[in-house]
Amino acid sequence: MTDHHLDDYRPIVGDQVIDELHVLADHVRHRRLQHINSTSVGGGVAEILTRMVPLLRDLGIDTTWDVIKGNQAFFAVTKAFHNALHGGKESITEEMLDVFRETTAMNLADLNDYGDVVIVHDPQPAGLIAKRPEVGGRWIWRCHIDVATPDPRVWNFLQKYVEGYDASMFSMPDFAQRLSIPQYMVPPSIDPLSDKNRDLTNDEVQAVVARYGLDPERPIVTQISRFDRLKDPLGVLAAYRLIRRRHDCQLLLAGGGATDDPEGEEVLNEVREAAGNDPDIHVLELPPFSDLDINALVRASTIVMQKSIKEGFGLTVTEALWKRKAVIGGAVGGIRLQLLDGVTGFLVHSPEGAANRAIDLLNDPELRQAVGDAGREHVRENFLTTRHMRDYLLLMLAMEHQGEELSVLTTR
Ligand code: UDP
């Protein structure tokens, strides 16, 4: 997990931020905090919890993390839910809803230890709320996905579970729903000291570049993402082909799978096929725990893309901004919180738009540096793990004082 202590973050975020965390922790230390999600590896939620759980413990908060179990059929259903909640067209059958209910029942029978405050992440484990009458505590449903325009059938199915919680948490106001429970807005975060984000020497970076067969002398345009259609890897390929008409560069599309995403292999095959035999297109399938390699590959990149069609937040954007990279992102979901267009990065709506921005950036090192520097400060202010911990501690406090008006926090 992590061998860092909160004090290690003082030089990055300042003393005041860390001191405040200690003050807040003093108020909630008597409460046990539990996180529950559906995968321990792959994807943004696992990424955040891997780093944050040990830091919360370091702060003296008794924090646990449980992962629900599910078979392939269950994760195929929840991936269809995921796509449908993102507004995609999916045919959801009664049998699929039954698979969800049955796996929920199995996990309810399996999991017997619950915290005083339980944060359940995303739709997959949402049904565990059925345990609440028996075990008590305060339950929060944490939604990481972009549910601005959900398929009503799937949302209505999920809503019945969600409204059993004490509160819900979304990454940005655009995702707020009509719900009978309070909704809190909490964006995700990255850990600046993790292997994914910590500083690397130039030698470390160049060693990884050489290992993956990239040319260090020529520009590299990169997208690091699970191979998922909503990340639009084919759109990135199309943009690359347009860029190449005007500017030399290499394209790096790198990503691995997540245990709760069964579609990865299919999409990877589509990408490989579309890439053809262009020696400047590098499609890398990364194994889990490739954090240092990903860190180095992003640092070696001239431009980072995240051309998502839907995106809850997009930690890959945060990770690239922290490394002072010029980022071009799809103008969707949480990417819009991070890329303030023309200031901390560029928002685009099409492969053509992405290509135009990329050409401008490839031709203008000063522009790359200016947006990269602004992006790093934007992340330091808003999207580091210390801010995220603060929000969770405040939420624990709010749960303790439920019913009292905390207007600063709630949108209701
Ligand atoms: N990631 C990774 N290996 C990969 C692809 C992605 O470790 O092969 C990481 C990436 O660096 C980021 C997270 O997984 O930390 C993805 O989070 P994001 O919010 O961008 O997207 P999600 O996968 O949750 O939709």
Decide if pLDDT at 396 tops 60: yes
What is the pLDDT averaged over residues 355-374? 98
Pocket test for ligand 1, best of 79, 230, 315, 385 (most atoms within 8 A of CB): 315
Taking the C-alpha atoms of residue 411 and residue 391, their distance in angstroms, rounded to an integer, is 15
**CA neighbours within 13 Å on the CB side: how many for 160?**
9
Check if the beta carbon of residue 196 is closer than 8 Å to that of residue 319: yes
pLDDT at 156: 96
pLDDT digits (tens, 9 = 90+) for 283-292: 999 998 899 9
In DSSP terms, 384 is beta-bridged to: 190
Which atom of ligand 1 is found nearest the CA of 288? 3
Residue 412 scores a pLDDT above 50: no
Asked whether residue 178 falls in the same domain as residue 307, the answer is: no
User: Does residue 187 contact residue 381 with C-beta atoms inside 8 Å?
Assistant: no
Say whether both 126 and 212 belong to one domain.
no
Any domain includes 412: no
Calpha distance 239→173 (Å, rounded): 30
Q: What is the reported pLDDT for 405?
A: 59
Closest CA to 60 of 407, 408, 396, 343: 396
Residue nearest to atom 14 of ligand 1 (CA): 43
For the entire predicted model, the pTM comes to: 0.93
- Largest distance between two CA atoms of the chain: 64
Res 2 pLDDT > 70:
no
137 close to 115: Cβ distance less than 8 angstroms: yes
Å from CA of 166 to ligand 1 middle: 29
Residue whose CA is at the smallest distance from ligand 1 atom 4: 255
The boundaries of the domain holding residue 31 are 6-189+384-400
Residues 296 and 345 both lie in one domain: yes
Half-sphere exposure of 47 (CA within 13 A, CB side): 30
What whole-number distance in Å separates Cα of residue 347 and Cα of residue 351? 11
If asked whether residues 334 and 297 sit together in one domain, one would say yes
Domain-embedded: residue 136 = yes
**Ligand 1: which residue has its CA nearest to atom 6?**
225
Strand partners, 66: 36
Tokens of 299: 């640092």
User: Do 173 and 209 have their domain in common?
Assistant: no
What is the rounded CA–CA span in Å between residue 307 and residue 236? Answer: 7
- Determine the distance from the C-alpha atom of residue 80 to the mean position of all C-alpha atoms in its chain, rounded to a whole number: 18
Residues 350 and 394 both lie in one domain: no
Measuring CA to CA, which residue among 238, 242, 253, 237 is closest to residue 316? 253
Beta strands in 109-177 (DSSP E): 117-121, 138-143, 167-170
Count of other CB atoms within 10 angstroms of residue 121: 24
Q: Which residue's C-alpha comes closest to atom 17 of ligand 1?
A: 44
Q: Which of 205, 201, 207 is nearest to 302 (CA)?
A: 205
b/e sequence 242-278, b meaning 16+ C-beta within 10 Å? bbbeebebbbbbbbbbbbbbbbbeebbeebeeebeee
Mean pLDDT of 221-242: 97
Q: How far is the CA of 401 from the centre of ligand 1 (A)?
A: 35
Same structural domain, 329 and 233: yes
Question: By the 8 A CB rule, do 339 and 311 touch?
Answer: no
What spacing in Å lies between the alpha carbon of 44 and ligand 1's midpoint?
5
pLDDT band at 406 (very low <50, low <70, confident <90, very high): low
Q: pLDDT by residue (tens digit) across 312-341?
A: 999 999 999 999 999 999 999 999 999 999
Q: What is the pLDDT of residue 402?
A: 78
Query: Is residue 172 scored above 70 in pLDDT?
Result: yes
> What's 357's domain CATH number?
3.40.50.2000
Contact 45, 78 (CB under 8 A): no
Whole-number Å distance, alpha carbon 327 to ligand 1 midpoint, is 16
d(CA 370, CA 4): 31
User: What pLDDT digit, counting tens, does each position of 258-268 carry?
Assistant: 777 788 999 99
Considering the domain architecture, whether residues 257 and 185 belong to the same structural domain is answered as no
What would the two tokens of residue 144 be? 């990481």
Co-location of 121 and 209 in the same domain: no
User: Could you tell me if residue 277 is inside a domain?
Assistant: yes
Residue ID of nearest Cα to ligand 1 atom 23? 43
Of 48-52, 63-67, 211-215, 285-289, where does mean pLDDT reach its minimum? 285-289
Q: How many Å lie between the centroid of ligand 1 and the Cα of residue 225?
A: 6
Which ligand 1 atom sits nearest the alpha carbon of residue 226? Answer: 5
pLDDT at 166 over 60: yes
Q: Which of 69-73, 231-235, 296-300, 401-405 has the lowest mean pLDDT?
A: 401-405
* Mean pLDDT along residues 111-138: 97
pLDDT at 403 over 90: no
Query: Does 409 reside within a domain?
Result: no
Across the range 206-232, mean pLDDT stands at 97
pLDDT at 260: 73
Apex CA 263: angle with CA 259 and CA 266, to 5°? 130
* Ligand 1 center from residue 42 Cα (angstroms): 6
Which amino acid residue places its CA nearest to atom 11 of ligand 1? 316
Which two structure tokens, joined as six digits, stand for 61? 């908060």
Does some domain include residue 408?
Answer: no
Give pLDDT, residue 397: 94
Q: How many residues does the chain have?
A: 412
Burial of 291 (C-beta count, 10 Å sphere; 0-12/13-18/19+)? middle
Domain assignment present for 219: yes
| Domain count along the chain | 2
What is the average pLDDT score of the chain? Answer: 95
Q: Please report the beta strands in 71-113, taking only residues with DSSP state E, as ranges in sequence order.
A: none
Measure the N-to-C terminal CA separation of the chain; round to a whole number of Å. Answer: 37
